[in-house]
């Protein structure tokens, strides 16, 4: 010990460092060889005298916190050689005193892997992890790679929580307390580290609501003597009965944690004086493995013969242990003075698992627990499928932790766990996400049940599926587990995206047929103006047929026409309806009161006027006169916004070459109907078919015919003839 240099610490810290080091050495026993101890002392001393700061950014002594973490891990969890070495060496790796390659060579790949995992986690484990979604997810996924890293981080968080009492940075302390309560306490509960979980929650309450914490702690101290006396009065007769039955055991009472009492006060809306079950009695039985269940039930029956039990508060975690390996038999009975008392029965082995969680479970079995893999997979499912923020992720984890469980069987006898209230649909998604997505119901205990049927412990369940089944939005209100909910959300999102892709394809095809080039900026404005927050939702509705693509394109054209008229910009949408030789600027129109010559004009593409239509002129910014029909869809807007740019236009009395007009035809999608339409146009004198586009859906077709006519008077006759074609339902000029 004399070789361990600690002069970078203050005197009280140096004294604590040496005391903690001795404590750790005694806990480890033969875990470390003498060579291990010597190398560790040398590396720790070297790290402490390196150029790295002896304190972190918050002024806490790094070396002392590291030693506290190692000692706490050895005490509360397990004096594991590789884990304790990783805890001790990580600061040395961080400071550059030793490389990760040297660790791998000297201490083995497992120690190096643990240090690498801890380093990865620390990249995310800033205080912002609790408020930044990406950091939070990165932190959790990193933790979930090796469950030992989770335990180390939990222990280190408890060391940090113990060290920050009365720290001057109050906001930082509150943030640390929030993360400890919402993340690390819940992980500790999952792993069966109940003592650590309770202390984390107590300290979190202390730092976030010190007044409440102090009030409860003071009252507990004031009533400690009477409470201890009551426990003794309760225990004495129970002890006598158990000894008379030949059982070997230890029996003791414990007061519940301050945070647990505070939660109960808030839930029941009462003062501390009205909380009766402030403590619990624990009976730890010494018995061989083969007699564990029978002896626990024997003790339970003795107790319930002495005191009246509350059946609703009975918990049997012996027949089917919790997912974290916890085994115990809980009873709540009416004790002296009409006070409810909780009594827990467990064996020495069960108590070891209850005190040290899954770590003790592995050590007892000698292998990694299957329930750990199940837990790890569940955490990954929650994190990898969640599309919500970190607060919802924490809520989902907390719900999964604290809900009671239901145990059901497959027809082959495989056992599955579900949260209380779990439905057939929850069970289907627990088996596999594809099974859940195709689930139509189940056969439960030989009877057909719907997907919303709530399962009970002991049920035998056979899932029924259909290849045509798909998840629905209402499924989210049926399931209770976060895994099922996230899987359904994921499937709904995929289905919605598929519909959106189909809707966008429909719109693009219609636009192409009508030679319209979509401006995405204008399209997004129209989508938002229509009340859609996301374009995906708009296109999905178009994919389902809720929005008609043809009508929407008309709306789009109306929106962009005024801008095009004002700026006179040519686009792909303005396809050429006339060839250059069709322009006759001086023999078709008379522009202005005195037949002004020399003015250039163009026929507007939004209404395509032809000879004989009532028209007016609009002087564009470049001096070109745009000719519109009086009934043009854009005419009201033009007259309102630009009355000073309007000019009178009349036909000269001379018919020019053919101008284009567009007809919209709707009818039954029968064989030959398009041929009949084109045949009529081809036989019509003075009319030429220039372009045709046809789109069909649900047994109907919609066509846009561009015809060249030299006189407006020819259009009504053509329209009447087209309406006589069998199957044609509607013909109108666009």
Q: What pLDDT is stored for residue 161 in this prediction?
A: 95
Rounded mean pLDDT of the chain? 77
Q: Among 628, 651, 674, where does a domain finish?
A: 651
Residue 381 contacts residue 486 (beta carbons within 8 Å): yes
Share of the chain above pLDDT 70, in %: 78
Q: Is residue 431 in some structural domain? A: no
Q: Is residue 708 in some structural domain? A: yes
Phi-psi domain of 193 (left: phi exceeds 0; alpha: psi -120 through 50; beta: other): beta
> Burial letters for 18-36: b for 16+ Cβ neighbours within 10 Å, e otherwise?
eebbebbeebbeebbeeeb
CATH assignment of the domain containing 181: 1.10.3210.10
Residue 585, pLDDT > 50, answer no
Q: What pLDDT is stored for residue 155 in this prediction?
A: 92
Question: Residue range 311-335: average pLDDT?
Answer: 84
* Structural domain total, the chain: 5
Distance in angstroms (rounded) separating the CA atoms of residues 538 and 542: 6
DSSP string, 638-656: HHHH-GGGEE-EEE-S---
Q: Is residue 465 in some structural domain? A: no
Q: What pLDDT is stored for residue 417 in this prediction?
A: 78
| Same domain membership, residue 40 and residue 111 | yes
Q: What pLDDT is stored for residue 5 in this prediction?
A: 46
Q: What pLDDT is stored for residue 132 in this prediction?
A: 44
List CB contacts of 119: < 8 A, sequence separation 6 or more: 90, 93, 94
Residue 397 contacts residue 172 (beta carbons within 8 Å): no
Q: What pLDDT is stored for residue 324 in this prediction?
A: 65
Q: Among 164, 183, 211, where does a domain finish?
A: 211
Q: What pLDDT is stored for residue 9 in this prediction?
A: 65
Highest averaged pLDDT of the listed ranges 188-202, 400-414, 553-567: 188-202
pLDDT digits (tens, 9 = 90+) for 357-413: 655 544 444 334 444 445 455 555 544 444 444 334 444 544 444 446 777 888 887
Residues pairing with 504 in the sheet: none
pLDDT band, residue 173 (cuts 50/70/90): very high
Residue 65 contacts residue 48 (beta carbons within 8 Å): no
| Same domain membership, residue 348 and residue 223 | yes
Answer with the residue of higher pLDDT: 69 or 120: 69
Which stretches of 347-407 are DSSP H helices?
348-365, 370-385, 390-402
Q: What pLDDT is stored for residue 368 in this prediction?
A: 41
| pTM exceeding the 0.85 threshold for the entire prediction | no
CATH assignment of the domain containing 667: 3.30.70.260
Residue 425, pLDDT > 60, answer yes
Share of the chain above pLDDT 90, in %: 18
| Same domain membership, residue 277 and residue 253 | yes
| Same domain membership, residue 638 and residue 618 | yes
Distance in angstroms (rounded) separating the CA atoms of residues 376 and 548: 48
| Same domain membership, residue 344 and residue 287 | yes
Residue 153 contacts residue 123 (beta carbons within 8 Å): no
Q: Is residue 16 in some structural domain? A: yes
| Same domain membership, residue 645 and residue 510 | no
Q: Among 521, 538, 567, where does a domain finish?
A: 567
Residue 510 contacts residue 548 (beta carbons within 8 Å): no
Structural tokens at position 157: 């968080």
pLDDT digits (tens, 9 = 90+) for 62-84: 888 888 999 888 888 778 888 88
| Domain extent for 338 | 219-368
Q: What pLDDT is stored for residue 371 in this prediction?
A: 45
| Same domain membership, residue 105 and residue 67 | yes
Q: What pLDDT is stored for residue 571 in this prediction?
A: 36
Residues pairing with 651 in the sheet: 589
pLDDT digits (tens, 9 = 90+) for 346-357: 999 888 877 766
Q: What pLDDT is stored for residue 46 in this prediction?
A: 62
Distance in angstroms (rounded) separating the CA atoms of residues 648 and 669: 44
CATH assignment of the domain containing 324: 3.30.460.10
| Same domain membership, residue 313 and residue 268 | yes
């Amino acid at each position: 010990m004399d070789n361990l240099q600690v002069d970078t610490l203050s005197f009280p810290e140096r004294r604590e460092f040496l005391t903690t080091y001795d404590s750790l050495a005694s806990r480890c026993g033969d875990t470390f060889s003498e060579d291990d101890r010597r190398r560790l002392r040398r590396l720790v001393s070297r790290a402490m005298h390196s150029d790295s700061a002896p304190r972190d950014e918050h002024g806490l002594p790094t070396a002392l916190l590291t030693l506290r973490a190692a000692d706490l891990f050895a005490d509360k969890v397990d004096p594991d050689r590789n884990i304790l070495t990783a805890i001790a060496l990580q600061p040395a790796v961080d400071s550059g005193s030793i490389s990760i390659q040297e660790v791998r060579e000297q201490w083995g790949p497992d120690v190096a892997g643990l240090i690498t995992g801890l380093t990865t986690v620390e990249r995310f484990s800033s205080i912002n992890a609790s408020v930044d979604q990406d950091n939070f997810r990165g932190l959790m996924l990193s933790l979930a790679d090796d469950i030992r890293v989770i335990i180390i981080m939990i222990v280190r968080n408890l060391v940090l929580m113990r060290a920050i009492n009365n720290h001057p940075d109050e906001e930082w302390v509150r943030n640390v307390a929030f993360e400890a309560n919402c993340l690390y306490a819940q992980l500790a509960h999952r792993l069966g580290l109940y003592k650590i979980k309770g202390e984390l929650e107590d300290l979190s309450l202390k730092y976030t609501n010190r007044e409440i914490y102090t009030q409860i702690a003071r009252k507990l101290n004031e009533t400690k003597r009477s409470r201890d006396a009551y426990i003794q009065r309760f225990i004495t007769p129970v002890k006598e009965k158990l000894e008379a039955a030949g059982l070997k055991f230890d029996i003791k009472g414990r007061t519940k944690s301050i945070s647990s009492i505070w939660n109960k006060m808030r839930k029941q809306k009462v003062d501390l004086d009205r909380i009766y079950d402030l403590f619990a009695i624990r009976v730890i039985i010494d018995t061989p493995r083969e007699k564990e269940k029978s002896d626990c039930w024997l003790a339970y029956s003795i107790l319930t013969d002495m005191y009246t039990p509350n059946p609703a508060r009975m918990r049997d975690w012996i027949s089917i242990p919790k997912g974290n390996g916890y085994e115990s038999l809980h009873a709540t009975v009416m004790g002296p003075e009409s006070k409810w008392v909780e009594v827990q029965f467990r064996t020495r082995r069960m108590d070891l698992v209850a005190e040290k969680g899954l770590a003790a479970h592995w050590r007892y079995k000698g292998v990694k627990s299957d329930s750990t893999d199940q837990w790890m997979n569940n955490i990954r499912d929650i994190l990898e499928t969640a599309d919500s923020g970190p607060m919802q992720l924490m809520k989902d984890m907390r719900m999964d932790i604290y809900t009671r469980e239901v145990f059901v069987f497959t027809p082959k006898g495989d056992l599955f766990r579900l949260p209380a209230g779990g439905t057939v649909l929850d069970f289907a998604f627990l088996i596999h996400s594809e099974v859940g997505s195709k689930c139509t119901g189940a056969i439960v205990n030989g009877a057909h049940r719907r997907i919303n049927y709530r399962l009970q412990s002991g049920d035998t369940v056979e899932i029924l599926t259909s290849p045509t089944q798909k998840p629905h939005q209402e499924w989210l209100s049926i399931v209770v587990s976060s895994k099922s909910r996230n899987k359904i959300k994921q499937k709904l999102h995929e289905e919605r995206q598929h519909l959106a892709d189909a809707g966008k394809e429909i719109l693009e095809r219609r636009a192409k047929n009508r030679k319209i080039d979509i401006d995405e900026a204008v399209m997004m404005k129209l989508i938002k103006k229509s009340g859609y927050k996301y374009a995906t939702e708009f296109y999905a509705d178009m994919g389902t047929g809720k929005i008609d693509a043809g009508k929407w394109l008309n709306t789009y054209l109306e929106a962009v026409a005024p801008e095009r008229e004002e700026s006179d910009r040519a686009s792909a949408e303005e396809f050429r309806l006339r060839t250059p030789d069709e322009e006759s600027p001086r023999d078709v129109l008379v522009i202005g009161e005195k037949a002004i010559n020399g003015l250039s004009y163009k026929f507007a593409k939004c209404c395509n006027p032809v000879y004989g239509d009532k028209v007016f002129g609009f002087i564009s910014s470049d001096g070109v006169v745009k000719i519109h029909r009086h009934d043009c869809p854009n005419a009201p807007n033009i007259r309102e916004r630009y009355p000073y740019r309007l000019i009178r236009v009349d036909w000269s009395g001379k018919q020019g070459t053919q101008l284009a007009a567009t007809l919209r035809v709707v009818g039954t999608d029968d064989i030959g109907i398009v041929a009949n339409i084109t045949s009529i146009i081809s036989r019509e004198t003075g009319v030429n078919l220039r372009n045709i586009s046809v789109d069909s859906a649900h047994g109907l077709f919609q066509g846009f015919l561009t015809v060249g006519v030299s006189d407006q008077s020819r259009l009504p006759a053509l329209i009447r003839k087209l309406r006589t074609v069998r199957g044609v339902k509607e013909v109108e000029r666009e």
